Amino acid sequence: MAVENAGWGAPKIHGELLKLGFQISERTVARYLRRRRRRGDPGQRWLTFLANHREAIAAMDFFAVPTVTFKFLYCFFVIEHGRRRILHFNVTTRPTSEWVVQQLREAFPESGQYRYAIFDHDAKFNGDVIAFLKATGLKPKRTSIQAPWQNGTAERWVGSCRRELLDHVIPLNEPHLRRLIGEYVKYHHEDRIHDSLDKDAPNRRPVESRPSASATVISSSRLGGLHHRYRWPAAA
């Protein structure tokens, strides 16, 4: 009961036990709960927080991308946890906290849609960034040091972007990378199937019906042929 109902105290659990016919004192239940909560797993508490507030969370992060001339570009993005949509992204050669604040203005033009912003210990996410988040109505939630799993939704998107795009195409420069990632974001939103969304896309893909027994599946190229989308032809 304590595992399934983290907010329950000894009186409530004791009452449930009595209804099940267990003759045990509330004091004994309280002692057990104190021992268990001292041993509690902080990781599990964080995962519970993410699950309980999924629709209210946005996460942000940076990742570096080498160009064909061996220079590094830096991509910043904000992703919502609920439908895994990319709220905003941009590319720069010189990321600063001031630049991050400007990106956040574009990511959150209106306040109230999200309650929490998750980010890591990157030095660019400094006091100015935190102050802006608070002014926008967001509660900053910084992850622990060397704990990328705590920002797993953002980390997984970076991994997907690398495996499905950047491992196959080397950007020439900043505009080229911005265009590439823009195309990937469009594919990510409209076409890509996500296990975490019950095999749906962030923008929702309807289940199509075969228009006739003779109809054949149409394949449409995405990202220069790296990926494809499949659909039935429109009914005649």
Structurally, the chain folds into a number of domains equal to 3
Residue 202 domain-assigned (yes or no): no
* 34 and 95 housed in the same domain: no
In this structure, the answer to whether residues 164 and 212 fall within a common structural domain is no
Judged against a pLDDT cut of 90, whether residue 13 lies above it is answered with no
Any domain includes 45:
no
* CA distance to 8, 36, 132, 142, 144, per residue, from 40 (Å): 14, 6, 33, 20, 17
Task: Read off the DSSP letter of residue 23.
Answer: -
Same domain, 218 and 193: no
Query: Do 218 and 187 belong together in one domain?
Result: no
Query: Structural domain of residue 104, as residue ranges?
Result: 51-197
Residue with tokens 């009914």: 235
Cβ atoms of 61 and 151 closer than 8 Å: yes
Backbone angles phi, psi at 208, to 5 degrees: -90, 150
Q: Are residues 17 and 62 in the same domain?
A: no
What three-state secondary structure class fits 117?
strand
Q: Are 74 and 169 in a shared domain?
A: yes
- Condensed to tens digits (0 to 9), the pLDDT of residues 205-229 reads 999 999 999 999 999 999 999 999 9
List pLDDT tens digits, range 62-120: 999 999 999 999 999 999 999 999 999 999 999 999 999 999 999 999 878 899 999 99
Residue 212's alpha-carbon distances to 86, 100, 170, 218, 236, in angstroms, are: 37, 52, 43, 14, 9
